Amino acid sequence: MRALRFLLSRHCLMLVCLCLALTAIQNQALAADKPARALVAAFEYPGLTIPSDGKAEVDLILINRGNQDETVTLEVLSKPEGWSTSFESYGKTVSGVFLEEEGKKSVTFQAQEEEAETRLSPGTYRFQIRAESEDAVLSRTASVVFRVAEDKTTEKTLALSTSYPMLRGSSDSTFEFSLNVANKSGEDGLFNLQAKSPKGWETSFKPAYEDKQISSLHIKGNESKSVKIEVQPPRQAQTGEYPIEITVWRGQAEAKAELKVELTGTYKLDCATPNGLLSTEVIKGNEGIMSILVENTGSAVQQEVSLLPFKPENWQVEFKPETISGLEPGQMEQVDVHITPPEDALVGDYSVGVQAKGQKAKDSVEFRITVKASAAWGWIGVGIIVLVIAGLAVTFKVLGRR
């Protein structure tokens, strides 16, 4: 019996040793087959469908299948226009990951539509990223597609209406729309307000007959409320039509309204001299020339600009060119002003004004003109004085002899 136990224990020991040897041989074979460096980068779900009020995010899985540690950098190769992206891990934004030998880690890839505050626009959006080793030897790409579903619930429980969906004016105007929000459900609720406007435009929601800004509106069941929407375009905005999309929602209930602003442009002219001087000297009867710059500082084209003088009586004022046509926004034109005082003008200072008048805009500049006598009259005066002195000298000489 003791001999039997000894034989059994001996065979068990030999079996364990054989298993260990086989395991070691297998591990050596696997190590021999494993590449020196290998990297895997893949999204956990390469295709996702999300609701418009959901988040566009998915885990990116990174695996080091090589025989050495790796530092992997992350980069977004392509994304839809108007979207921002980031890689997140435990609440931090990262751009690289350390992977030890045979290590595996996940980071969260997040995408956000820049113009959307709380809801995403329905559609299909594709993103591509690249994971690359620090020495750029290993490189892997991965793609993910987010499909944002379109909500189809709201017309029965929520409705928007406005009497004036389109307003017209210049770019320096503030446009005010009135929107009626109808809660057709039987429940009271707080409804969120959102405006999607062109870049650079400012929009704000205000209660009817109040001046405070709001972002939501409380409406009782089966009742409606009016809300005022103020729209301010940037001053450099060009003429044309601009859409403003209004969204009101609560939970899955949503309604949209499209407003429109037509900009006619601003009309403004500025007049100035090239060197800033507003005075000159002119000999009476002779022509003097002053130059002015007429600039279109508005956002609308000035089709024709006329020039008008304001001058003393009997003075002549001419312009070259006489009119300015087709002055584009920001464009400047030089005009020469030819000023001629009459021959009988008295010596002294005079005021001459020039007005540039275009479409719905005008500006003026005023010159001080100093009129002087001709130098020839000075020499004539000197000659007369010499003659008088000579005459007096002769007279005294004749009288002195007597």
What is the per-residue pLDDT across 279-324, written as a single tens digit (0 to 9) for each? 999 998 899 999 999 999 888 888 889 999 999 999 999 999 999 9
Residues 368 and 340 both lie in one domain: yes
Strand partners, 353: 310, 366
Residue 94 lies in a domain: yes
Are residues 274 and 354 both part of a single domain? yes
Q: Are 107 and 179 members of one domain?
A: no
pLDDT over 50 at 360, yes or no = yes
According to the model, what pLDDT value does residue 170 have?
A: 85
Indicate whether 197 and 127 sit together in one domain: no
Nearest to 302 by CA among 324, 272, 287: 324
When pLDDT is averaged across residues 92-99 and rounded to a whole number, the result is 95
Residue type, 47: G
Same domain, yes or no, for 244 and 282? no
228 contacts 152 by C-beta, under 8 angstroms: no
Q: What is the CATH number of the domain that holds 127?
A: 2.60.40.10
Residues 327 and 302 in one domain: yes
- Is 223 inside a domain boundary? yes
Q: Are residues 316 and 221 in the same domain?
A: no
381 part of a folded domain? no
Residue 200 confidence (pLDDT): 92
Q: Which helix (H) or strand (E) holds 223?
A: strand 223-232
Residues 251, 298 share a domain: no
DSSP state of 57: E
| 120 touches 50 (CB < 8 A) | yes
Q: How confident is the model at residue 117 (pLDDT cuts 50, 70, 90)?
A: low
pLDDT in tens, 192-227: 999 999 999 999 999 988 889 999 999 999 999 999
Nearest-angstrom CA–CA distance, 302 and 267: 8
93, 55, 51: which is closest to 74 by C-alpha? 93
Farthest-apart Cα atoms in the chain, separation: 190
The CA R_g of the chain, rounded to the nearest whole Å, is 43
Number of domains into which the chain is organized: 3
pTM: 0.45
Identify the domain boundary among 263, 279, 313.
263
Same domain, residue pair 237 and 179: yes
Average pLDDT for residues 2-11, to the nearest whole number?
A: 58
In angstroms, the CA 57 to CA 67 distance is 31
The answer to whether position 28 is within a domain reads no
Residue 392 belongs to a domain: no
Instruction: Please identify, among 124, 148, 172, the residue that sits at the C-terminal boundary of a domain.
Output: 148
Show the domain range for 298.
269-375
Residues 44 and 144 in one domain: yes
Q: Do 364 and 297 fall within a single domain?
A: yes
Which strands sit side by side in the sheet containing 348-358, from one edge to the other?
279-283, 361-372, 348-358, 302-310, 323-327
Is 230 within a domain?
Answer: yes
Q: Is the same domain home to 170 and 144? A: no
Assigned token pair, 37: 């460096």
214: in domain: yes
Going by pLDDT thresholds of 50, 70 and 90, the confidence category of residue 27 is low
| Any domain includes 396 | no
Boundary (domain end) residue, out of 234, 263, 292: 263
The pLDDT of residue 186 is 82
Among positive and negative, which fits the CA dihedral 184, 185, 190, 196?
negative
Q: Tell me how far apart the alpha carbons of residues 252 and 174 are, in angstroms, rounded to a whole number.
A: 33
